[in-house]
Amino acid sequence: MVELAAVTKRYGSAVAVDAISLKIKAGSYCCLLGPSGCGKTSTLRMIAGHEDVTDGDIVVGHRVVNDDPPARRGTAMMFQSYALFPHLSVAENVAFSLRMKGVDRNNRRARADEMLKLVSMEDYADRSPNQLSGGQQQRVALARALMTEPSVLLLDEPLSALDPFLRVRMRSELRRIQAELGITFIHVTHSQEEAMALADLVVVMKDGRIAQSGPPREIYNAPRNRFVAQFMGGHNIIEDSGRTIAVRADELEVRPADAPGGGHSAVVREVEYRGPDVRLSLETEAGEALTAVMGERAFFDGRITPGARVCVGWRPDAVHALAQDA
């Protein structure tokens, strides 16, 4: 388990992390999610011991680790840059921590081979890092981080440098490895899709504070406030009958203006074809911008084109009320 108890980080007069409290269950996959400057990386670095805590406590297991060096925390960190040693082979990179501990060559090579097999890189053990693709380098960096048998693995935007296809593939690999090892992963990302795909617990951060935390489905379907709804994407924020509500883009019902059923009048401003579905940008008579997502077949059967006037509605159970003070 990892627990943050009113943890604050200041850099001079600037507050990067503002008294956040969070409990992460042992063996879970947690994603710290938010825009640049929200405090997620500072939080990760404090857990790792690479940044001092200004105030509050960080607990790993049942021990406050504020004053412990990184090597004594039971954590390991995988950096965004991978930071592989170019003059060492893949196996030597993975085994480097054991070399520093004085473990003999044969034992550290055997252990490195185990870790490389875990990340499907055993056939590349004797290559140098410059002979590997970006995705392969990432797997080596992951194996090296796991070499110390940490109870908590910390990942700082590990997928950001990969192309979209490889990013999706590595998401499934990270989830597989985390489930196989059963250790706690804490993963910093600015990608909503990445957090939703990976995490048991999503922690959305804004301005150094936690805006909302919970399972991905809860965060997506029941955003607490306007910021979370807009940041997670896919939600329309609508003023309706004196309250602020969120309605998912795929829950908006768009019909030709002359179709039965009624609804709010709007004009189609843009149409974006995306294969399985079509994204519509709409503008209501009140000037509100709305986004709707329709299935491909429904869109092309519906006589909806850019510039067309349409009716927009939603089912009562598709509405989620937002906090007024957000």
Average pLDDT of every residue of the chain: 93
Query: Of 38, 32, 27, 39, which is closest to residue 2 (Cα–Cα)?
Result: 27
pTM: 0.90
pLDDT at 242: 77
- Distance, first Cα to last Cα, the chain: 31
- Which pLDDT tens digit goes with each residue over 124-153? 999 999 999 988 998 999 999 999 899 999
- Which pLDDT tens digit goes with each residue over 272-299? 999 999 999 999 988 999 999 999 998 9
- Which pLDDT tens digit goes with each residue over 63-119? 999 999 998 999 999 987 888 999 999 999 999 999 988 999 999 999 999 999 999
- Check pLDDT > 90 for residue 262: no
Close Cβ partners of 58 (under 8 Å, ≥ 6 residues apart): 2, 3, 4, 5, 7, 46, 47, 64, 65, 66
What are 137's two structure tokens?
A: 């380098």
- Check pLDDT > 80 for residue 241: no
pLDDT at 3: 98
Provide, rounded to the nearest whole percent, the portion of the chain with pLDDT above 70: 99
What are 165's two structure tokens?
A: 């296809």
- Which pLDDT tens digit goes with each residue over 296-312? 998 988 778 999 999 99
- Check pLDDT > 60 for residue 326: no
Task: Specify the 3-state DSSP secondary structure of 274.
Answer: coil
Beta bridge partners of 59: 3, 64
Angle 70-202-23 (CA atoms, 0-180°, nearest 5)?
A: 55
Q: Which pLDDT band holds residue 243 (cuts at 50, 70, 90)?
A: confident
Task: Specify the 3-state DSSP secondary structure of 123.
Answer: helix
Q: Which pLDDT band holds residue 325 (cuts at 50, 70, 90)?
A: low
Domains recognised in the chain with CATH numbers: 2-221 (3.40.50.300), 236-321 (2.40.50.140)
- Check pLDDT > 70 for residue 324: no
